[in-house]
């Protein structure tokens, strides 16, 4: 199962991702749970993260350049970490994935969803999230909760930048590509309150997945 956490800054998704990975590891003790992030998760991908998000250049980085660099980091992470884990039928919990590129470079920076999908087509290797948890939090609260002056230029953007992101996430949840795997998590309240919502959504998705797999297995058994 490939679970992705998405949202604007300050939603607490990184903290919830750590909790979720630990919870799933305890829930499925015979299964390996990989906790990772994008961009990052490997030596090469982390270096690309620093290049794109933590390096100040005199010239402005073009959004298309950003998109290709993020796709490169993503290709490395999927090839060396995510795909091997999923091939063993284990679990991946990721703080962001290509959905962030769709939102930021595709919508907020006007490149378009189709172009971002095309840029990422080879990098994804056909791997699609089984569940996307969108942490829904108003922009004002998100900005108040976080400010990272080191390593993430996106957390130093103007409020309008995050408002565009917020609107893009809400539209994306209705997109045919994502609507079946998209779950909205109310990110207001304490860490524990949000965690209870995450746990409930994930447990329900696992139950649904188990029922589908059981039905498929029973059908195959009857047909053979």
Q: Rounded CA gap, 132 and 130, in Å?
A: 7
pLDDT of residue 148: 53
What whole-number percentage of the chain has pLDDT above 70? 88
Q: Rounded CA gap, 33 and 126, in Å?
A: 20
Residue with tokens 């073009």: 62
Residue that wins the pLDDT comparison between 138 and 148: 138
How far from the centroid of its chain's Cα atoms is residue 47's Cα?
19
Angle between helices 13-27 and 191-223 (to 10 degrees): 50
Average per-residue pLDDT for the chain: 90
CA atoms within 13 A on the CB side of 175: 15
Q: Give every CB contact of residue 19 below 8 A, 6+ residues apart in sequence.
A: 195, 198
The reported pTM is 0.90
pLDDT average, residue stretch 28-56: 96
Q: Rounded CA gap, 184 and 198, in Å?
A: 9
Q: Which of 18-27, 113-122, 184-193, 207-216 has the lowest mean pLDDT?
A: 207-216
Domains held by the chain: number: 1
Residue 184 near residue 173 (C-beta atoms within 8 A): yes
Domain that holds residue 157: 2-223
Tell me: pLDDT of 155 over 80: no
How far from the centroid of its chain's Cα atoms is residue 119's Cα?
17
pLDDT of residue 158: 74
| Residues recorded for the chain | 224
pLDDT of residue 134: 98
Residue 31 near residue 121 (C-beta atoms within 8 A): no
Q: Rounded CA gap, 108 and 125, in Å?
A: 25
Q: The domain spanning residue 55 has which CATH number?
A: 3.40.50.300
pLDDT average, residue stretch 170-198: 96
What whole-number percentage of the chain has pLDDT above 90? 83
Q: Which of 147, 191, 206, 155 is nearest to 19 (CA)?
A: 191
pLDDT of residue 156: 58
Q: Which of 72, 83, 70 is nearest to 126 (CA)?
A: 83
Residue that wins the pLDDT comparison between 205 and 156: 205
CA distances from 9 to 5, 19, 98, 128, 201 (A): 12, 18, 16, 23, 21
Tell me: pLDDT of 151 over 80: no
């Amino acid at each position: 199962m490939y679970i992705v956490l998405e949202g604007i800054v300050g939603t607490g998704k990184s903290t919830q991702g750590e909790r979720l990975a630990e919870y799933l590891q305890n829930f499925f003790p015979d299964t390996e749970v990989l906790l990772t992030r994008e961009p990052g998760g490997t030596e090469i991908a982390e270096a690309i993260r620093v290049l794109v998000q933590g390096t100040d250049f005199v010239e402005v980085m073009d959004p298309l350049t950003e998109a290709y660099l993020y796709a490169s980091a993503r290709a490395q992470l999927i090839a060396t970490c995510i795909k091997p884990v999923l091939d063993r039928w284990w679990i991946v919990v990721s703080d962001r994935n290509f959905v962030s590129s769709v939102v930021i470079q595709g919508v907020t920076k006007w490149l378009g969803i189709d172009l971002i999908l095309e840029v990422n087509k080879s990098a994804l290797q056909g791997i699609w999230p089984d569940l996307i948890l969108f942490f829904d939090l108003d922009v004002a609260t998100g900005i108040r909760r976080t400010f990272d002056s080191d390593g993430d230029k996106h957390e130093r953007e103007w409020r309008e930048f995050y408002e565009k992101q917020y609107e893009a996430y809400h539209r994306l949840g209705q997109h045919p590509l994502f609507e079946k795997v998209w779950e909205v998590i109310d990110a207001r309240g304490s860490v524990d309150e949000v965690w209870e919502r995450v746990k409930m959504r994930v447990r329900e998705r696992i139950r649904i997945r188990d029922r589908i797999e059981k039905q498929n297995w029973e059908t195959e058994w009857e047909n053979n």
